[in-house]
Amino acid sequence: MTPLHTILTLPRLRVEQTPLDATEADLLARLGRLVEATGPMPDVRVLAPAIRALFPAPTYQVGCGGTHIWLHRTDDPGRLAIIHEDR
């Protein structure tokens, strides 16, 4: 059955690790501005291409879950940041 309306949500950024250096701190600040500038949307995962452009491979890995985008340093199993839906 097709939904009668689309639920819009705001993306929220949660940084989970301290930046390694000034360059990474700048990238995370830019990511924060990107997320803040984004209005309500039906799926935060549409931001993934812009995040991949900010945090390119092979240094970073960007992936999507059901309602979120995760960001890892390639050489660190811990999540650097997550962008999730704020419902």
| CB-CB contact of 15 with 79 (8 Å) | no
Distance CA 87, CA 77 (A): 28
Contacts of 51 (CB under 8 A, 6+ apart): 31, 34, 62, 69, 71, 83
| CB-CB contact of 74 with 64 (8 Å) | no
Distance CA 23, CA 11 (A): 23
Residue 4, pLDDT above cutoff 70: no
**Res. 5 pLDDT band, cuts 50 70 90:** low
pLDDT in tens, 9-40: 899 999 999 999 999 999 999 999 999 999 89
pLDDT computed for residue 86 by the predictor? 79
